[in-house]
Amino acid sequence: MTEMPSSGQETFQRLSCDYENLSSRFKLQDRNYQRQYAHLYSERLISMRPGLEKAARRKWGEDAPLCHLYQLVSGEKQIVVGTLFKSMELKPSILKEISEDRNLTPQPVRERFFSDSDFLVLEDELQRVVLTGNIDVQTAITGTVIAVKGFENDNGKFEVEDSCYVDLPSIEEFPPLDDDRYIILMSGLGIGSDQTDLMNLQLMVDIITGQLGTADQQKMFSKVVRVIIAGNSLSESTQDKGVLTTAKYLTRKSQAGTVEGVKTLDHILVQLTSCIPVDLMAGDFDPANSSLPQQPFHRCMFPQSSVYSTFNSVTNPYEAKIAGIRVLGSSGQNVTDIYQFTTMEDRLSILEQTLKYGHIAPSAPDTLACYPFYDQDPFIIKECPAIYFAGNQPRFQTKKLTGSCDQEVLLVTVPSFQETKSCVIINLRTMDCQPLIFSANLSSS
């Protein structure tokens, strides 16, 4: 325990709790990029098929037989399990890069890539079939494993009557806490940008570490047992994308844009790690591998913070048990990618859907880069988390989701600190969740 000074005579002790890192499946043991992604899709379907068949029987009973696609009989009602593929005319293509290199007319720049001409295909181990009927094309995602009930029509397409996803896994019982314990989720610090507001960032650090605030506030923040930083600690502006196309002799004496940003981040982190455990995840704009799962930063990047055992560089996605409570989350690439390729507008709803799909990143590897796993899919959700979060979202949102077996999951979208000047605090005893908004206005008005 570390002591937190207060403005009066009282001194508060920093509370602690049990901790277990459960992210070993996201760490790459070997890095073989020669494999095809077909192995990953095959492993995903094989692993999730038993759960889908069980969910289908629970929902539809013995109303129709379960079969593979090659066993379909035209006109007969049947249930099939497979992986969705969404054919999208506007999906980004290598042809765009070629057209730019050859000075051809480039494709228009888009932020979202769905269109009315999109259609769905269901694929299993041996065959594929086009889906029509009662299934929403525009909210569907390539890579989702799904069970559909219907029949093959005269055109050779499968007419969907209903569909279902895998049931939520059972949730582990965790011991009740006798006192409040808090964790803080933050993301998108955006260090290194001209827009970085270091005053608000320092204000947040000082309040968490007990250097500022009233006695009541210091007492509450002394019960914060862990801080999780969910990616994009550095700004996008620190990425030197032009260095790859610039002659080496022109960049010989130049310094990478991330160097000063990492130094500033280390200065922020050492203030936190000196009194509280911190888990640092990589994000889109951070100096780490770009494909999921992103690997932990090397400790030598943070010479001041890494001195403390409370500094933990972790994977993205990240899973851990904090005070016996399972926490699972990502830096938000999975949610942002699904937003770009569907008509779903609400980020919390997208996060909820990934939990219902039983998969953290169903759109990987189709539109979201990931490692070509061969004999496993680490993104499958096999244990139900009590807290499920996504970082770097436009705004704070939260919801408690109840599963079919009364599992309760707290869903949280963590806002970008650079954009909103806010982070999220969660009470592990009551599962109450609220934003913390910081404002350091030094103007005379």
pLDDT in tens, 148-189: 999 999 999 999 999 999 999 999 888 889 999 999 999 999
Are residues 369 and 294 in contact, defined by beta-carbon separation less than 8 angstroms? no
CA distance 388 to 409: 7
Residue 98 phi/psi, 5-degree rounding, is -65, -40
Closest alpha carbon to 36 in 306, 372, 276: 372
Checking DSSP bridges between strand 119-123 and strand 78-87, what pairing results, if any?
antiparallel
pTM, rounded to two decimals: 0.92
DSSP annotation string for 52-66:
HHHHHHHHHTTSS-E
Are residues 72 and 122 in contact, defined by beta-carbon separation less than 8 angstroms? no
Does position 435 have pLDDT exceeding 90, yes or no?
Answer: yes
Question: What pLDDT sits at residue 254?
Answer: 47
Question: What pLDDT sits at residue 96?
Answer: 60
**424: Cβ contacts below 8 Å, ≥ 6 apart:** 184, 185, 186, 389, 396, 398, 412, 414, 415, 433, 434, 435, 436
56 CB neighbour count, 10 Å cutoff: 25
125 token code pair:
């181990």
Q: Percentage of the chain with pLDDT > 90?
A: 78
Average pLDDT, the chain: 90
Does position 225 have pLDDT exceeding 80, yes or no?
Answer: yes
Are residues 362 and 395 in contact, defined by beta-carbon separation less than 8 angstroms? no
Over residues 254-277, mean pLDDT: 88
CA distance 283 to 265: 14
Over residues 290-302, mean pLDDT: 96
Does position 142 have pLDDT exceeding 90, yes or no?
Answer: yes
Q: Percentage of the chain with pLDDT > 70?
A: 89
Q: Where are the domains of the chain?
A: 19-30+170-437, 37-92+112-164
Does position 144 have pLDDT exceeding 60, yes or no?
Answer: yes
- For residues 66-84, b (16+ Cβ closer than 10 Å) or e, as one string? beebeebeeeeebbbbbbb
- Residue 46 is inside which H or E element, if any? helix 38-60
Question: What pLDDT sits at residue 404?
Answer: 85
Q: Where does the pLDDT of residue 292 fall: very low under 50, low under 70, confident under 90, or very high at 90 and above? A: very high
247 CB neighbour count, 10 Å cutoff: 7
Question: What pLDDT sits at residue 445?
Answer: 41
Does position 67 have pLDDT exceeding 70, yes or no?
Answer: yes
Are residues 215 and 51 in contact, defined by beta-carbon separation less than 8 angstroms? no
Q: What is the architecture of the domain spanning 37-92+112-164?
A: Beta Barrel (2.40)
CATH number for the domain running over 19-30+170-437:
3.60.21.50
CA distance 18 to 148: 43
The DSSP secondary-structure symbol of 177 reads P
Does position 99 have pLDDT exceeding 50, yes or no?
Answer: yes
Question: What pLDDT sits at residue 55?
Answer: 96
Q: Scanning the structure block, which residue is given the tokens 């704070």?
A: 396
Question: What pLDDT sits at residue 30?
Answer: 85
Q: Which residues pair with 390 in a beta bridge?
A: 330, 413
Q: Where does the pLDDT of residue 442 fall: very low under 50, low under 70, confident under 90, or very high at 90 and above? A: low
Question: What pLDDT sits at residue 283?
Answer: 97
Question: What pLDDT sits at residue 38?
Answer: 93
pLDDT tens-digit series, residues 386-424: 999 999 999 999 999 998 888 999 999 999 999 999 999
- For residues 328-362, b (16+ Cβ closer than 10 Å) or e, as one string? bbbbbbbbbbbbbbbebeebbbbbbbbbbbbbbbb
Q: Which residues pair with 224 in a beta bridge?
A: 182
85 CB neighbour count, 10 Å cutoff: 21
